[in-house]
Amino acid sequence: MSFLHISSSPRGTDSESLRIARVFTDAYTESHPGSEVEQWDLWGSPLPDMALGATAKMTVFGGGTPVGAEGEVWAQARATFERFAAADRVLFSVPMWNAGIPYVLKQFVDVVSQPGWIFGVDPVTGYRHLLADRGTRVAVIYTSAVWGPGLGPEFGRDFQSTYFDDWLRWTGLTDISEIRFHPTLTGDRAAEDAAAFARARDIAKTF
Ligand SMILES: Cc1cc2nc3c(=O)[nH]c(=O)nc-3n(C[C@H](O)[C@H](O)[C@H](O)COP(=O)(O)O)c2cc1C
């Protein structure tokens, strides 16, 4: 089993999502002797630039083949997709940014979500989900600081997990476990911490 952790917080040792991810990956390696965890920090090296990538995508949609600079960025997008799609187990760590996901993760989504790779589309029946039925399992760590389940819209709204979960399912990845850390401004951080750690360990053991 290949295990890939895709992280989207730039906050290093201060990061809450990375702290929970560490508990997850430690529990995973402990319960899967001989396994290795590949770390992919989305802030670590630039993702392909989708200014040209968007043009390449429309070339492909139109049945053509991107060439020149378009072709180069298309090849980089393909390599990015392949790294992601090759993993049997994928852990995403996802902080809430302005009610949504960090832009680097959105860039990742926009780079890999290409026709023939992630999706097909039929004018009558709609989308096909090309990562379905591969046995890939996904776990996602969602964190936020102000928003939390049960709070009213005055504390913001959750377009983070709603968007990202919808994207995963659209790709065909439907075996998804969630670990949440939403201490809110008045919540019990220690209790939230303990619950997130326990859930991370629990899921990791049988991941
Ligand atoms: C740019 C930015 C935007 C944020 N926007 C929100 C937000 O809209 N709602 C919220 O509840 N928390 C928001 N937060 C707080 C983070 O979601 C929260 O602290 C999270 O646990 C950070 O994860 P990290 O420590 O792994 O980076 C934001 C933080 C940053 C840095």
At 163-199, the pLDDT tens digits run: 999 999 999 999 999 999 999 999 999 999 999 999 9
- At 61 the pLDDT is 85
Cβ burial 150-186 (10 Å sphere, 16+ → b, else e): ebeeeebebebbebbbebbebbbbbeebebbbbbbee
Q: Which residue has the tokens 């402990």?
A: 30
- Ligand 1 mutation pick, 146, 180, 192, max ligand atoms within 8 A of CB: 146
Q: Which residue has the tokens 């990791």?
A: 204
Task: Report whether pLDDT(84) > 90.
Answer: yes
What are 128-156's pLDDT values in tens digits? 999 999 999 999 999 999 999 999 999 99
Gap between the Cα atoms of 81 and 144, Å rounded = 27
Q: Which atom of ligand 1 is nearest to the CA of 19?
A: 26
- At 90 the pLDDT is 98
Residue 151 CA to ligand 1 centre (angstroms):
16
What is the arithmetic mean of pLDDT over 21-47?
Answer: 97
- Ligand 1 mutation pick, 93, 98, 186, max ligand atoms within 8 A of CB: 98
What is the arithmetic mean of pLDDT over 45-60?
Answer: 92
Nearest alpha carbon, ligand 1 atom 1? 97
Q: Which atom of ligand 1 is nearest to the CA of 143?
A: 21
Band of pLDDT at residue 70, cut at 50, 70 and 90: very high
- At 184 the pLDDT is 98
CA neighbor of 138 nearest in space, from 207, 43, 35, 41: 207
CA neighbor of 81 nearest in space, from 40, 141, 35: 40
What is the arithmetic mean of pLDDT over 84-105?
Answer: 98
